[in-house]
Each structure stands twice: as C-alpha cells, then as structure tokens.
C-alpha cells in the first residue's frame, strides 16, 4: 500500500519578507475626508442645478452653498495630504486625457471655480445670469468629480482597488447621492427652514440602495481579492458603513413627518459614507502589504492575457 502524497498549501512570500508593492502612503483622515467631501460637492451641485430648473430657489441656493463649501474643504484636505499647495498646481501644467489623475485634477479645479461662482451669485445677488450658467455647468462636472476617485483607485496596482474596477465608481456615485441627501435633510431639519425634504428623501433611498449594493459586491464578487474588505478593520468599517447607510435610508422615509427623523437620517448617511471611505483605504493598504493578493492578481492577469492570445481555430 503506497502512501498518498499530500501537496503542501501554497505559501506566498517575497524576498527578505519585504512587500512586493509599496503600500499606499495616503493618510487618515485626509484622503477619506477628501473623498467624502468631493462626493458631497458633486452631488450638491447636481441637486442645486436640478432645483433651479424645477423652480425651487431655496433648495437651489442650499445646494450651491453646500457644493462650494464642500469643494473648498475637500481641497484643503487634499492640500494637507500633498504637503505643499504647489504640488496640486504642478498637476495642472498638462492635460492628459488618458490619465485619471490629470483629468481628475482638472475636473476638481473647474468644478471648484464653477460652484464658487454659483454660490457667490446666490449670496450676493450679483450677476444672476453668470451664476445660473455656472450652476448649470457644475451639474456636468459634479458627476465626474463624484465618480472619478473610483476610476483613479481602480487604475492603480493595489489589488483590492484594481480588482474592484466595477464596484468602486458605483460605490462613490452612491456615496455622492447619500452625502447630498444628508446635507439636504440636515438643512430641511433646521428650525424655520421651511424646505421640503421630499427630493432629499428620494435621493437618500436611491443612494442607500446603490451604495449598499456596491459594498455588498465588494465583499462577495471579488473572491480572494475581496478578502481585505471582509476582514480586519476594513471589514468592520465596511459592514458598519453599510448598516448605517441602509438605516439612514430607512429613517429618511419618515423625514416628511418628523424633523428629528430627518436629522437622524442625515447623521447616519454621513457616518456611513465616511466609514466606507476609511474601509476602502484600509483594504487597499492591507492588500498591497500582503504578497498573496499581489501574486493572485498577477496570475489572474497572466491567465486572462494567455486566453486572449490563443488564436481562434479555423
């Protein structure tokens, strides 16, 4: 009787125990805050433009002010992350359509200028035509600003980000909807505002469903590459963010009858959005630090390239 030979489990390592990839050096809370505020600015600009077109001047003004405030606050966090303001200016020296970083930098600069002009016109009452045009144009740059970070992260070699090229843009788009809804619900809950929370409620529900489905797919569609989204700090933050987002969407349904429900929904939606951004950052760092995720991604890429290179039989 022969002894059965058992194949030992594969082990993944690197020379001298050093990581194959350098882990992202982006810091907390700078990057998560910038991502959240970029979503908020993009979504609020769209809300302001839609409200202006629908003849809701109060909601349009609130959207423009929120978009401008979030854009400048996000730029401050980005500058703090870069270390020196001139580093951002250096990225504007050239426009490269094939580079997500270049296009993102130009989108951020254009969007910030547009929402600033629209907000200034709303506050001062000066140049209303120019303000209306800037507000309408920001509805074009807003969606790009909200979704481009997902494209940018997926364009890197970080396994947890690169493998989630389908989920991340959808996750950030849903996050823009929930962040905007949170700001609108908080404004509607302000004493004496008199704002109708109806549009914010619909936006909150749609955003919660979009963001929740994208987060669920991060955990279950990616296979081994999605393990960083299921384990450790990133897994706990992602699950907490999903719970808060879904709960915020549910609370938003009662915002028309209860001001406190609207405020609670705003807090839950904002907290869920921030938790998800921290989870994405930590999952990326964890996947880049562990050689097994890098090796698995390289093997998958080589297998896909080999299958495409096989010539079709006549």
> pLDDT, tens digit, for every residue of 182-241?
988 888 766 555 567 778 899 999 999 999 999 989 888 888 888 999 999 999 999 999
- The average confidence (pLDDT) of the chain is 82
Q: Domain extents for the chain?
A: 24-155, 159-302
pLDDT in tens, 12-50: 555 555 666 676 777 788 889 989 999 999 999 998 999
212 φ, ψ (degrees, to nearest 5): -65, -40
Contacts of 201 (CB under 8 A, 6+ apart): 181, 185, 252, 253, 255, 256
Q: Burial level of 26, CB count in 10 A (0-12/13-18/19+)?
A: middle
pLDDT band at 62; cut points 50, 70, 90: confident
Alpha-helix residue ranges (DSSP H) falling in the chain = 30-53, 57-82, 85-90, 100-124, 128-154, 159-162, 167-188, 198-220, 232-252, 259-289, 291-309
Indicate the angle between helix axes 128-154 and 167-188, nearest 10 degrees: 140
Residue count of the chain: 314
Angstrom distance (rounded) from CA 277 to CA 34: 9
Residue, of 210 and 157, whose pLDDT is higher: 210
Inter-residue contact 249 to 208 (CB < 8 Å)? yes
Indicate the angle between helix axes 30-53 and 57-82, nearest 10 degrees: 160
Cα separations (Å) of 235 from 153, 276, 277, 280?
Answer: 18, 10, 12, 9
Angle subtended at Cα 46 by Cα 244 and Cα 85, rounded to the nearest 5 degrees: 85
Angstrom distance (rounded) from CA 231 to CA 147: 25
Indicate the angle between helix axes 30-53 and 198-220, nearest 10 degrees: 140
**Token pair of 151, please?**
């494209």
- DSSP category for residue 133: H
Q: Which CATH class is domain 24-155?
A: mainly alpha
Q: What is this structure's pTM?
A: 0.81
157: preceding bond cis by omega (within 30 degrees): no
């Amino acid at each position: 009787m022969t002894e059965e030979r058992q194949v030992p489990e594969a082990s993944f390592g690197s020379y001298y125990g050093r990581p194959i990839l350098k882990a992202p050096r982006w810091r907390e809370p700078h990057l998560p805050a910038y991502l959240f505020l970029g979503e908020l600015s993009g979504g609020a600009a769209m809300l302001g433009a839609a409200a202006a077109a629908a003849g809701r001047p109060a909601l349009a003004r609130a959207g423009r002010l929120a978009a401008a405030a979030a854009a400048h606050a996000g730029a401050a966090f980005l500058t703090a992350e870069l270390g020196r303001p001139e580093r951002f200016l250096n990225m504007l020296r050239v426009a490269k359509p094939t580079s997500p970083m270049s296009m993102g930098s130009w989108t951020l600069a254009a969007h910030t200028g547009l929402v600033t002009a629209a907000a200034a016109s709303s506050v001062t009452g000066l140049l209303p035509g120019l303000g209306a045009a800037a507000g309408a144009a920001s509805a074009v740059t807003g969606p790009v600003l909200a979704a481009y970070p997902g494209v940018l992260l997926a364009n890197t070699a970080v396994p947890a980000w690169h493998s989630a090229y389908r989920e991340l843009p959808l996750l950030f788009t849903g996050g823009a909807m929930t962040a905007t809804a949170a700001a609108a619900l908080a404004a509607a809950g302000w004493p004496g505002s008199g704002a109708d929370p109806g549009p914010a409620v619909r936006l909150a529900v749609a955003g919660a469903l979009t963001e929740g489905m994208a987060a669920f797919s991060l955990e279950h569609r990616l296979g081994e590459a999605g393990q960083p989204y299921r384990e450790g700090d990133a897994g706990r933050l992602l699950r907490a963010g999903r719970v808060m987002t879904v709960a915020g969407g549910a609370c938003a349904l009662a915002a028309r009858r209860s001001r406190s429900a609207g405020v609670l929904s705003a807090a839950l939606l904002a907290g869920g959005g921030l938790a998800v951004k921290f989870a994405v950052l930590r999952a990326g760092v964890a996947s880049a630090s562990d050689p097994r995720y890098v090796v698995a991604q390289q093997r998958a890429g080589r297998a896909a390239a080999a299958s495409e290179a096989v010539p079709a039989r006549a």
